[in-house]
Amino acid sequence: MLGKLNKGEKCKIIDISRIDLLVRRRLLDLGITEGTEVCIKCYMPFGGPIMVESCGQCIGIRRVEAVQIEVERL
Amino acid sequence: MDIALIGNPNTGKTSLFNNLTGSYEYVGNWSGVTVEKKVGQFKNKKDKLIDLPGIYSLTPLSKDEGVVTQFLLSENVDKMINILDASQLERNLHLTIQLLEYGKPVVIGLNMMDVALKRGFQIEPNQLSNQIGIPLKPVIARTGKGCDMLAEAVTSERLPEPNARIVDYGKDIEEAILRFEKLFDNKPNQSTRWLALQMFEGNQYVIKYLENYIESEQLNQFLLEIKDAIKKSAGTSIDQFIFRKRKETINQIMTDAYIKREQIITPLSEKIDAIVTNKILGLPIFFLLMYLMFMLTFDWLGFPLSDLLDGFITGPLSQTIENLLQAAGASAFIHSLILDGIVAGVGGVLVFVPQIFILFFFISLLEDSGYMARVALVMDRLMEAVGLNGKAFIPMMIGFGCNVPGIMAARTIETPKERLLTILLTPLMSCSARLPVYALFVGAFFVQQKAFIVLSLYILGIAVALILAKLFSSTILKGETSFFVIELPPYRLPQFQALWRSTWDKGKGFVKKAGTFIFAGSVFIWLLSYIGPGGMDVALDDSYLAAIGGFIAPLFEPIGFNTWQAGASLITGFLAKEAIISTMNIIYFVPDEASLQGLLSDYFTPLAGYSFMVFILLYIPCLATVATIYKETGSKKWTAFSMVYALIAAYLLALIIYQGGKLLGFM
Ligand SMILES: Nc1nc2c(ncn2[C@@H]2O[C@H](COP(=O)(O)OP(=O)(O)OP(=O)(O)O)[C@@H](O)[C@H]2O)c(=O)[nH]1
Ligand SMILES: [Mg+2]
C-alpha cells in the first residue's frame, strides 16, 4: 500500500479502484492512475497528508486515501 | 471575434492573457488563481480574449471548473487558445483532446518551454503540431517570448478544422454517438459528438443542458444502455474506458512526436521541499515566516514609514492647504470641511499606505513563490480536525490582504459544504483595512508591547475561525465527506517586476478607496458632526452624529465603551473598516495621530481599548465582503448568518475579555 512505504521509496501503482470516486477523478486529472510510477517525498506529522512525486509533479493526498492505493515496490 | 483561453490550472493562462491584452489580472503560483471569466481586448483592438479558470478536464468537480463548462455551453466562442505546460505534456493533452472534440478551431500555446528544457525534455514543436493536427506555437508567457507569434497565429490565420475524431473510442461508443444524434429534433449549437462524450463521462452540466432538448427519461435510458454495454465488453466504468482510450492516443502522439526525456535533473524545488515540508520543521517554518512578515509589516519597517508619512500629512501638507485656503479667502465652512473633514478623514487612512503595501508585498511573494500550496499541505491535518481541508487555508491567507478575493478563492474547494464554511469564516481573518485601527489603539495604550498586541489579534482571528469551523461543521453543516488532493507547483523565483505589479495592483485598491469611498464618507460624517437638531456648526455633542452614535452606545456598556463616538465609528465601520479611523479622526477633532492617541485615553481604558480592537476584528464583514458572500453563496440566509454569528461572537468575546480582565484587576 502507498502510505506504508518509507520516505524516498519508489513504487508503481497497481490498483486505485478502492478509493473514493471524487478523489480518484482528481488523481486521474493529475495523471495518477494504474501503472504510474510514484516516489514518496514526505509524510506530514500527526497522521497528516503525504506528498508524492510522479513525472516531476508533486501532489499531496491524505493518508486515508493513500493506504487504499495498492502499489508494488520498484 | 471571441477567443477563449483554456488550459490546465497553473499553466500560465493569465500570464499570457496579461501579455496579449496589456491588462493586469491576478497571477499566482498555485492551481486555482483565476476563478471567474475575465474579458480583455487584443492589442489589435478587434478581437476579444477571454481568460478562464484552469481545468484538468471539461467534466468539472469544483465551482471554478464549472465556470468553463458553463461558458462553453452557453456562450459563443469563435476560436480557442489551448495553453499546455510543456513540462507536463501527457496530462495536459487530455484536455486538448476534449477541445478538439468540441469542434471549434484551436491553436496550441506550448508554454513553460524554459521549465521543460531545464527538466531535460526535448520537444520538437513542429512534430507535435503535425501529430495533433493543429497549429502550435512555443511561448514563455512569463517573459513574453513568442507571445506575438501566437497572437498572430490565432487572430489572422484561417485555422484548419480540428480533427474531432482524433480518438477512436471503439465500436460501442462510436455507434452510440451516432444513435445519440438521432435523438434530437432541433440540434443544439455544440458538436453532438462532444456533447455525447461529455455525457458519457458523467458531466452534470452537459446532462442538465441536454435536458432542454431531450426528455430526461429518454436520456437516462440511453445512458444506462451504453454504460451497460461498456461494462460488459470492457469490464470497466465508461468514464475510465474513455480515459484509457484517450491515454492510448496521447501515448501514440508522444512517441510519434519524438518527445524524449534526457537525464532527469533533480530540480531545486525538491531540495527546498525537503526543508519546508519537513515532518518536524514544516509547521515551525510556516509560523516563523508569518512572524517575520508580520514584524516587518507592523514593527520593523512599516511603523517608522507610517510615522514619517503622518508627520508629512499633518505637518507640511496641512499647513500648505491651510495657507492656500487663507489666501483664497475660504469661508469658515469650507475651511472646516476641508481640514477637519477631508484631510482628517482621508489623511488618517492614507497614513497607513506604507504598512499596507508591505503587507501586500509579502502576500504577493507567498502567492508567486509556490509556497501557498505547501501551506495548504502543512495545515491540512489541523484543518481536517475542525471539519475543513487544507485548501481552505489559501482563501484565509488571501483574506489577510482583503476578504473579498479571499472569499472568491474558496471556489476551488471541491466539496460544497467545506466551501460554504470557508466563505463564512474568511471574514474573521484580519484584513489590511483593520490594521489602521489596531495601529491607532496600540499607539495610545500599548506602546511597549505594540507588536505583541497586534499579533495576538491576528491569532485570535484564526483561533476563532477554527473553533467556529469545528462548531458549525459538527452542528449546522454536518455530513458530506471531506476531500483533499492538492497539486504542489514547482517553486519559482518571483520576478521583481511581477511582484511589484501584483503588490501595486492590490495596494491600489486601498488608495483608490481612500480617494473615493472614504473621501465621500468623510464629507458625510463631517456634515453629520457639523449639523444637529439645533442648526449648523453646533457643539459636537449636540450633532446628529452624536445622536445616532449615542443611540446604540449603551449596548456597549458591558464591553467597555459606552460612548457615542465608539457607537458612531462602529456604524461607519460596516461600510469599510478604514472608515472607523476617519470617523474617529473627525469626531475627536484633532490635528494629528499623536494627539488623537492622547485624547483616546480620556475615553477608553487600556482594557476597553483591547476589547474595542477585538470587537472591530470580529464584529461584522464590511459591506463589500457581505456583497461578495451573497454573490458566492447565492443565499440571503447564509449572508445574514455571516453577519449575525460574527456579531454574537464579537460581543461574547469582548465581554469575556473586558469583564474577565476587570476581575483579574486589569484596567
Ligand atoms: N518559468 C515559467 N513560469 C511561468 C511561465 N508562464 C507562467 N509562469 C508562472 O506560472 C505561474 C502561474 O501563472 P498563471 O498565469 O497564474 O497561471 P494560470 O494558468 O492563469 O493559473 P490558474 O488561473 O490557477 O489556472 C506564475 O507563477 C507565473 O509566473 C513560463 O513560461 N515559464
Ligand atoms: Mg489564471
pLDDT in tens, B89-107: 999 999 999 999 999 999 9
DSSP state of B104: S
Predicted confidence at residue A20, as pLDDT, reads: 87
CA distance A11 to A5: 9
Please give the mean pLDDT across all residues of chain B.
90
Q: Is the pLDDT of residue B469 over 90?
A: yes
A63 has a chain B CB within 8 A of its CB: no
Mutate to test the pocket of ligand 1, among B5, B6, B8, B10 (most ligand atoms within 8 A of CB): B10
Task: Collapse the DSSP code of B380 into the 3-class scheme (helix H, G, I; strand E, B; otherwise coil) and give the result.
Answer: helix
Instruction: Strand B48-51: give its sheet, edge to edge.
Output: B38-41, B48-51, B2-7, B79-85, B106-111, B136-138
Phi, psi torsion values for B234, nearest 5 degrees? -110, -15
CA distance B658 to B184: 69
CA distance B528 to B245: 71
Q: Which CATH number fits domain A2-73: 2.60.40.420, 2.30.30.90, 1.20.200.10, 2.40.40.20?
A: 2.30.30.90
Q: Which residue has the cell 504510474?
A: A36
- Where along chain B do its domains lie? 2-156, 282-485+498-663
Phi, psi torsion values for B482, nearest 5 degrees? -85, 160
Nearest CA in chain A to B271: A41
Predicted confidence at residue B479, as pLDDT, reads: 73
Nearest CA in chain B to A16: B240
CA distance B421 to B379: 16
Q: A43 - beta bridge partners?
A: A50
Predicted confidence at residue B273, as pLDDT, reads: 79
Q: How far is CA B105 from the centre of its chain?
A: 32
CA distance B123 to B130: 13
Contact (CB<8Å) A61/B484: yes
CB-based contact B561:B604 (threshold 8 Å):
yes
Segment A58-62 shows an average pLDDT of 93
Spell B283-298 as b/e; 16+ CB within 10 A means b.
bebbeebbeebbbbbb
What's the pTM?
0.92
Q: Is the pLDDT of residue B264 over 80?
A: no
Q: Is the pLDDT of residue B478 over 90?
A: no
CA distance A58 to B276: 14
Cell of B645: 454569528
- Confidence class of residue B421 from pLDDT cuts 50, 70 and 90? very high
In 3D space, the residue among B362, B371, B357, B501 whose CA is nearest the CA of residue B18 turns out to be B501
Show residues of chain B in contact with A52, CB under 8 Å. none
Q: Please report which helix (H) or strand (E) contains residue B70, including its range.
A: helix B63-74
Binding site for Mg(2+), residues of B?
18, 21-22
Phi, psi torsion values for A3, nearest 5 degrees? 100, -10
Q: Give the lowest-confidence range in B258-267, B351-360, B420-429, B498-507.
A: B258-267
CA distance A49 to A60: 6
Of the partner residues B119, B279, B384, the one whose CB lies closest to the CB of residue A42: B279
Cell of B549: 452614535
Q: Where are the alpha helices (DSSP H) in B235-370?
A: 238-256, 268-276, 282-295, 302-312, 318-328, 332-336, 348-350, 353-369
Nearest CA in chain A to B279: A44
- Cα–Cα distance list, B536 to B131, B133, B530 (Å): 80, 77, 6
Cell of B572: 461607519
Q: Which pLDDT tens digit goes with each residue over B19-76?
A: 999 988 999 999 999 999 999 999 888 899 999 999 999 999 999 999 999 999 999 9
CB-based contact B43:B501 (threshold 8 Å):
no
Cell of B158: 484561417
Neighbours of A63 (CB within 10 A): 17
Show residues of chain A in contact with B267, CB under 8 Å. 56
Spell B83-114 as b/e; 16+ CB within 10 A means b.
bbbbbbbebbbbbbbbbbbbebbbbbbbbbbe
CA distance B611 to B183: 67
CA distance B266 to B107: 32
Q: B40 - beta bridge partners?
A: B49
Of the partner residues B264, B280, B484, the one whose CB lies closest to the CB of residue A45: B280
CB-based contact B316:B413 (threshold 8 Å):
no
CA distance B637 to B461: 23
Q: Is the pLDDT of residue B266 over 70?
A: no
CA distance B8 to B371: 19
Show residues of chain B in contact with A46, CB under 8 Å. 381
Predicted confidence at residue B5, as pLDDT, reads: 97
- Confidence class of residue B487 from pLDDT cuts 50, 70 and 90? very high
DSSP state of B30: S
Q: Which pLDDT tens digit goes with each residue over B349-387?
A: 888 899 999 999 999 999 999 899 999 999 999 999 999
Of the partner residues A46, A47, A56, the one whose CB lies closest to the CB of residue B87: A56
Q: Is the pLDDT of residue B482 over 90?
A: no
For the domain covering B2-156, report its CATH number.
3.40.50.300
Spell B240-253 as b/e; 16+ CB within 10 A means b.
bbbbebbbebbeeb
CB-based contact B51:B5 (threshold 8 Å):
yes
Contact (CB<8Å) B485/A60: yes
In 3D space, the residue among B205, B290, B198 whose CA is nearest the CA of residue B246 turns out to be B198
Segment B312-337 shows an average pLDDT of 88
Q: Percent of chain B beyond pLDDT 70?
A: 97
DSSP state of A67: T
Q: Is the pLDDT of residue B587 over 90?
A: no
CB-based contact B89:B256 (threshold 8 Å):
no
CA distance B476 to B638: 11
A15 has a chain B CB within 8 A of its CB: no
- Helix, strand, coil shares of chain A, percent, nearest 5, are 20, 35, 45
Q: Give the lowest-confidence range in B70-74, B145-149, B336-340, B389-393.
A: B336-340
In 3D space, the residue among B321, B323, B326, B352 whose CA is nearest the CA of residue B338 turns out to be B321
Cell of B437: 485601527
Predicted confidence at residue B121, as pLDDT, reads: 84
Binding site, residues of B?
7-14, 18, 21-22, 32-36, 51-54, 111-114
The torsion angle over the Cα atoms of residues B643, B549, B650 and B399, rounded to 10 degrees, is 60
Which residues touch B262 (CB under 8 Å, ≥6 apart)?
Answer: B120, B121, B122
Nearest CA in chain A to B264: A56
Q: How far is CA B152 from the centre of its chain?
A: 32
Show residues of chain B in contact with A57, CB under 8 Å. 88, 91, 487
Q: Is the pLDDT of residue B13 over 70?
A: yes
DSSP state of B160: P
Tell me the DSSP string of B426-471. GGGS--GGGHHHHHHHHHHH-STTHHHHHHHHHHHHHHHHHHHHHH
In 3D space, the residue among B308, B442, B464, B430 whose CA is nearest the CA of residue B359 turns out to be B430
Neighbours of B192 (CB within 10 A): 18
CB-based contact B13:B87 (threshold 8 Å):
no
Contact (CB<8Å) A42/B274: yes
A1 has a chain B CB within 8 A of its CB: no
Strand pairing category for B106-111 and B79-85? parallel
For ligand 1, whether the C-beta of B31 sits within 6 Å is yes
- Confidence class of residue B169 from pLDDT cuts 50, 70 and 90? very high
Predicted confidence at residue B299, as pLDDT, reads: 84
